[in-house]
Structure 1
Amino acid sequence: MTTQTQRIVITQTGGPEVMRYEDAVLPDPGPDEIVVEHTAIGLNYIDVYFRTGLYPAPNGVPFTPGNEGAGRVTAVGGEVTGLQAGDRVAYVGPLGSYTRHRIIKADIAVKLPDTIDDETAAAMMLKGMTARYLLRKTFDVRDETTLLFHAAAGGVGLIAGQWAKHLGATAIGTAGSDEKCATALDHGYAHCINYVSQDFVAEVARLTDGAKCDVVFDGVGKATFEGSLDCIKPFGLYASFGNASGAVEAFNLGVLSAKGSLYVTRPTIFAHIATRALLEETANDLIDVVSSGAVKIPIAQRFGLSEVAEAHKALEARTTIGSTVLLPNG
């Protein structure tokens, strides 16, 4: 039985105006697939990268953006086990979540417990699992760790601050306003630097008595790269996981030796959930810390799916705080 739905389609890359809201028809799911009726869809900065063409869509245009959603299963393929119609699920997957209904492979869906509501699930999966791989896999954050996290008041940043505090670390954040810094301080950060009015390199040196940080987590990119290297102690790590200000350009590797034999890495979430076992390990860890109350998922903005252009404008203008969700019925 086919499904009538609505979705966002991009036929050429560009500004927010290239996203078009249209009617569509879904076929039946394949043998290993399920149909999910979204109740909430996660908005992430990576969506902007695909919309603008910074990251080319794997299958070219046209495409539907979005990698994250939550809702209920409405149909299952003949070979699917462990899921049935009516189950509540969330997922991070390939492009295509900006839609009311979606067909996905059953093995990327994670069943939701009663302790996690749909909006929270849609807001936390990609950002929360990103925070998890950064703090638990990219660098093993512990109680003796001092870290710097750029864009601390963003969706990933607010989750990471709470999680880092839960692990016993001292987290220093940066943000673009006093208001955002106040929000970061309410979500686990021991200190927050307003990079508009303060030199974050000098402030990190002051806050650490010159010892600097064990690791810098940077989703901003070009604008913060050089300064970040000056915030890391010898043998420390710079972890780049996003390019909100533009991609980091090629640089002389000799800079890393001159600044203390530093390490640099560029991890991605999809490498950390590439198998079902890795997905379950990552998602279960996230669900546990959220269910326990150690990490709360702040949703500060909600937009209807048809209002997605306004959501992207707000995201790019950096006026959003915490997580944003798109509501298919909104």
Structure 2
Amino acid sequence: MNLKNIKTIPIMTIMSILLVVLFVMSFLIGRYPLSPSEVIIALFTGVFHIKTNLAPAVYAVVWDIRMPRIAAAMIVGAALSISGASFQGIFRNPLVSPDILGVSAGAGFGAALAILMDSSSLLIQIMGFSLGLVAVSLTYFLSKSFRGNATLMMVLGGMAIGALFSALTSCIKYVADPYSKLPEIVFWLMGSLSKVNSQSVFMIIIPILIGFIVLLTVRWRINVLSMGDEEARSLGVDTEKLRILVILSCTLLTAAAVSVSGIIGWVGLVIPHIARIFVGPDHKKLLPFSIILGAFFLLSVDDICRTVTAVEIPLGIVTAIIGAPFFIYLLKRGYEGWT
């Protein structure tokens, strides 16, 4: 059956139900064993502050250890996916990912610099987020200083700024202590949620919500912009302001995600393509479904990474192992339904 022709099945509802099921099941995964009843009771009574006979350790595991990590995995996956789908729409390019403008490279440099200075986890997150915003700002102003196609200049500027910050990160790794700081920097750059806590999640809530709200509000305009600037202008859309608004929202989402999880590749590139197979290229459906699918995918990957072996596997390794072959498959079958 051709997935493109699925119209009667409420795929978004089904995917939402699967995400809820995975959310609950993820609490059962870990070194400390929990039963489904303990998880459900701890979640329900914790929300409504009802006293029970559950051991305090159960509440600590559910709310202080697993809840922040599960929430972070869902938030990061959703943020990277909707950012990738939005960028692919406004740049009219199926190969665009959320780090195209250098945000991941900038965030990586900021986090590596903070780790080198022996900073706290909070400062590492703040530095990663701030330098991610700085990188995209430099990309934007660099692209405005050159003549030519604005979109092309922005992409090329992002490549240049990304390469610059990647080189600066390599310099930090070169001078870092090979027995303490260097392994920590390398592990952060490969992507992980092992150090996530409630404070980390609360720190990114505001930029994440702003990004989600803006992109979901203007998602129908991204449809118009994906047809080309001339067609969009003829329909009364201010293409320059809309492009800046989308880029700013995607930058907030990506910088916030990278600051808490490190650099996780392929999610923002592959998940939007999978979403298009199910719901088509209409961004009014594509962006909400990308949020759900991205959250489901990264939460699944994180569950695998923290349980398959005794030592936790970095998220970036597993997403690349899954994402690269699937992307090759899309290229091989000549998938052209991205726009």
TM-score normalized with structure 1 length: 0.29
Q: Whose relative contact order is higher, 1 or 2, with alpha carbons under 8 Å and at least 6 apart?
A: 2
TM-score normalized with structure 2 length: 0.29
- The structure whose residues are more often strand, as a share, is 1
- The structure whose residues are more often helix, as a share, is 2
